[in-house]
Amino acid sequence: MTALNLPPFEARLAERQGRRFIFDILRRRYVALTPEEWVRQHFVHYLLEHKGYPAALMVNEVQVKLNATRKRCDTVLYRRDLSARVIVEYKAPEVEITQAVFNQIMRYNMVLRADYLMVSNGIRHFCCRMDYANNSSIFLPDIPHFTALQ
C-alpha cells in the first residue's frame, strides 16, 4: 500500500481466499483492504493515538438519510448526547481533494450538523470548523487535538 503522510501504526492484516483485509479498531472486525480503507485506518489511529480522540465516541460507516437516498459518512465523532461533533471523509491517496469532495461532506452535514468537517486522502488533510451563525466555514491550519474542539 501507498506510504501516507500520517504516523505509522501496527496494522493487523489478514489474507483470505486471495483477498487482503485490515482490522478496523472501531468496527472490531476485519474489513477489505482498499486504498480508501488504508487511509481510514491510518487516520483513525492518528486521531486516537496522536490527537486524543476517544474511540468510544467514534463510529465508522455511519448511515444518513439525505432526501430519499441513504449515504454513508466514513467516520463520525459524537458528543456524549450522540449529536455529531466531527464528520471525516476519506479518499484514496491517488484521489485529489477537490471542491466536489467538500460538497459531498457538506451534503452529509446537512443532516448531521457537525461542528467540524475533516477530509483526507492520506497525503493531504483538511479541517474546517462550521460557523452556523454566519453560514460559513473556517479552515484550520491543522487537525485539532480533541481537547481543543469547541
Contacts of 67 (CB under 8 A, 6+ apart): none
pLDDT digits (tens, 9 = 90+) for 47-61: 999 999 999 999 999
CA dist 58 and 75 (Å) reads 7
**Structure-model confidence comparison of residues 120 and 67, the more confident one:** 120
User: Architecture of domain 52-148 in CATH?
Assistant: Alpha-Beta Complex (3.90)
**Beta bridge pairs of residue 30:** 23
Q: What's the mean pLDDT in 58-79?
A: 92
Evaluate whether 80 touches 115 at the Cβ level (below 8 Å). no
Report pLDDT for 134.
94
Residue 1 banded pLDDT, cuts 50, 70, 90: confident
CA dist 16 and 65 (Å) reads 33
Residue 31 banded pLDDT, cuts 50, 70, 90: very high
Residue 23 banded pLDDT, cuts 50, 70, 90: very high
Q: Where in the chain are the domains? A: 52-148
